[in-house]
């Protein structure tokens, strides 16, 4: 069988994974070129780590992006970020289009589980809208950021920084050209507003954006917002507000003495938004209290929304599990959202996704701790919470760190790379690859109750 024939028969989930792996490999090769770094060549493992972090739009770094890489190296990272940010929905569909292959009903159902909430006949139109909206949002964001940065640097540098940080923010990547991320602009309303806006737009999901466009911007406004869109918008708003309140109440060490109410509010809102998979920070994460870190771990784990540039278990999963719990407490047989019943299979899949994700995070955390204990015996090592934060940040493709990324050993970096790939491609995608998507099988026996709780 020819290579083209194998590609044509490949499972869509496998194509998604292979596409990401090829992009990571290409990025690693380019970053290893002599012209990509300012000094000596970067170690292959560090180049692979940086490439993976960019393609998986995570933002974890082992070297400072703004000083270690040349302009060429930074542009390579930026292109990888753009490919990774758009890759979830567009690369697979574009690949099918390039191969001249129509998406069959079976494949459409598989891609629905991976990318959308309902099968769509206008999937190519959706891809065009995604690209157009992405470029428009990034252009506007870049112009506004360049306008602000021009006060602190030459115009050419301001434009370049504006473009870099706008793409990084919309794709929820978290890569920054400044050594302290955006700490310098913690009280700047324009920078905070633009970056937060881009993060939210890139994190609520392209299907939601497409739905909003069809409802409010198209000529035919009779269509109603889907349950998917309503769930994402409501859950996102609740998480942002709750996260900001928790940060403002729990955290005092990160608030500078004499800071204005506006600066304190911006700091709280920014951290709430960015730890939902964006990775920028305006405070020292390592200096935050354990209570704040715990709240951020929760926000990071659930992350952004399906079909977006962000990672995590997703906001809709959290909403379904909350609705499921409430329905059982009320002794309702079905799970309802916005006067619609959620399919039982979706509820079961949501619970399985959370359990699998927790198990995966636990496994990776154990392996990192085990290897660190073996190969770094006798050395002073970070606290357990720092390792947990790093692992969840990688899995949810957040990019925030308590400062231990550069100090990880080789095996620790490899496990973080693995977690970034799994988190970006998705646990469900890996389940399709490993287990397939055939019909459920198994013997059904007579029921017998088992005590729980």
Give CA–CA dist 280/398, Å, rounded: 9
Inside any domain, residue 447: no
**Mean pLDDT of the region 48-77:** 93
Number of domains in the chain: 1
Residue 444 lies in a domain: no
- Decide: pTM greater than 0.75: yes
The yes-or-no verdict on residue 378 having pLDDT over 90 is no
Sign for the pseudo-dihedral over CA of 437, 439, 444, 450:
positive
Residue 448 lies in a domain: no
Average pLDDT of the chain, as a whole number: 83
Domain-embedded: residue 453: no
Task: State mean pLDDT over 318-341.
Answer: 90
- Residue 161: predicted pLDDT: 95
pLDDT in tens, 8-42: 555 666 777 888 888 999 999 999 998 999 887 89
Q: Is 337 part of a structural domain of the chain?
A: yes
pLDDT of residue 124: 66
Question: Has residue 445 been placed in a domain?
Answer: no
**Counts for the chain of helices (H) and strands (E), in that order:** 19, 2
Summarize pLDDT for 379-403 with one digit per residue, the tens.
556 688 899 999 999 999 999 999 8
Confidence band for 424, pLDDT divided at 50, 70 and 90: confident
Tokens, residue 428: 């469900």
CA distances to 198, 297, 363, 411 from 366, rounded to whole Å, are 35, 17, 5, 12
Q: What is the pLDDT of residues 194-214, one digit of tens each?
A: 999 999 999 898 888 888 887
Does some domain include residue 160? yes
Provide the pLDDT confidence category of residue 434 given band limits of 50, 70 and 90.
low
CA 215/CA 202 separation, integer angstroms: 19
Look-up: residue for tokens 């911006």? 266
Q: What pLDDT sits at residue 94?
A: 57
Range of the domain at 296: 3-435
Q: Pick from 118, 139, 84, 109: which is nearest to 11 by CA? A: 109
Residue 270: the pLDDT is 94
Rounded Cα distance between 85 and 376, Å, is: 35
Looking at residue 433, its pLDDT comes to 65
345-358 tens-digit pLDDT:
889 989 989 999 99
Grouping H, G, I as helix, E, B as strand and the rest as coil, residue 341 is: strand
> Per-residue pLDDT tens for 398-420?
999 998 888 888 899 999 999 99
**R_g over Cα of the chain:** 22
Closest CA to 390 of 287, 305, 286: 286
Structure tokens at 152: 């602190």
199 three-class SS? helix
Give Cα separations from 35 to 66, 70, 156 (angstroms): 15, 7, 21
Q: Quickly state the pLDDT bin for 220 (edges 50, 70, 90).
A: low
CB-CB contact of 263 with 239 (8 Å): no
CA of 101: how far to CAs of 14, 116, 251, 436, in Å? 16, 20, 53, 21
Cα 403 from Cα 268, distance rounded (Å): 20
Q: What is the pLDDT of residue 106?
A: 45
* 242, two tokens: 């709750």
Whether 122 maps to a domain, the answer reads yes
For residue 113, pLDDT over 60 is answered with no
The helix (H) or strand (E) run that includes residue 243 is: helix 227-250
Using an 8 Å Cβ cutoff, are 138 and 170 in contact? Answer: yes
- pLDDT at residue 264 above 70? yes
What is residue 435's predicted lDDT score, i.e. its pLDDT?
Answer: 62
Structure tokens at 276: 């939902």
State what percent of residues in the chain have pLDDT above 70.
Answer: 80
Q: 254 — phi, psi (to 5°)?
A: -80, -15
């Amino acid at each position: 069988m020819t290579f083209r024939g194998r590609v044509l028969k490949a499972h869509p989930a496998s194509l998604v994974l292979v596409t990401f792996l090829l992009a990571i490999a290409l990025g690693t090769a380019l970053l290893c070129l002599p012209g990509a770094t300012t000094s000596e060549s970067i170690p292959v493992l560090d180049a692979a780590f940086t490439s993976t972090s960019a393609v998986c739009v995570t933002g974890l770094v082992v070297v400072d992006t703004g000083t270690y890489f040349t302009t060429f190296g930074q542009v390579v990272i930026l292109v990888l970020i753009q490919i990774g940010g758009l890759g979830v929905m567009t690369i697979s569909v574009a690949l099918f289009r390039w191969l001249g292959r129509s998406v069959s009903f079976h494949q459409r159902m598989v891609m629905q589980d991976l990318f959308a909430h309902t099968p769509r006949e206008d999937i190519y139109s959706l891809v065009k809208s995604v690209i157009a909206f992405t470029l428009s949002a990034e252009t506007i964001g870049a112009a506004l950021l360049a306008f602000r940065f021009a006060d602190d640097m030459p115009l050419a540098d301001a434009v370049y920084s504006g473009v870099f940080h706008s793409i990084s923010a919309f794709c929820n990547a978290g890569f920054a050209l400044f050594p302290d991320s955006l700490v310098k602009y913690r009280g700047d309303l324009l920078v905070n507003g633009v970056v937060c806006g881009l993060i939210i737009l890139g994190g609520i999901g392209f299907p939601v954006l497409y739905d909003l466009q069809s409802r409010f911007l198209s000529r035919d406004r009779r269509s109603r917002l889907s349950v998917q869109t309503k769930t994402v918008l409501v859950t996102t708003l609740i998480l942002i507000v709750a996260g900001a309140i928790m940060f403002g109440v729990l955290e005092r060490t990160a608030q500078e003495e004499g800071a204005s109410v506006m600066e304190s509010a911006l700091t709280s809102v920014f951290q709430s938004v960015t730890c939902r998979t964006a990775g920028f920070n305006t405070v020292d994460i390592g200096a935050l209290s354990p209570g704040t870190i715990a709240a951020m771990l929760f926000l990071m784990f659930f992350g952004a929304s399906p079909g977006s540039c962000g990672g995590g278990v997703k906001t809709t999963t959290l909403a379904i599990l909350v609705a499921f719990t409430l329905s059982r407490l009320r002794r309702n047989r079905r799970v309802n959202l916005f006067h619609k019943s959620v399919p039982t299979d979706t509820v079961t899949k949501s619970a399985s996704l959370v359990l699998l994700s927790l198990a995966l995070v636990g496994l990776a955390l154990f392996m990192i701790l085990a290897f660190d204990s073996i190969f770094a015996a006798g050395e002073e090592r970070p606290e357990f919470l720092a390792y947990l934060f790093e692992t969840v940040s990688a899995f949810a493709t957040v990019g925030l760190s308590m400062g231990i990324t550069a100090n990880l050993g080789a095996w620790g970096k490899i496990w973080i790379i693995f977690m970034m790939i799994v988190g970006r491609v998705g646990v469900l995608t890996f389940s399709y690859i490993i287990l397939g998507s055939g019909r459920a099988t198994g013997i059904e026996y007579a029921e017998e109750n088992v005590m729980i709780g």
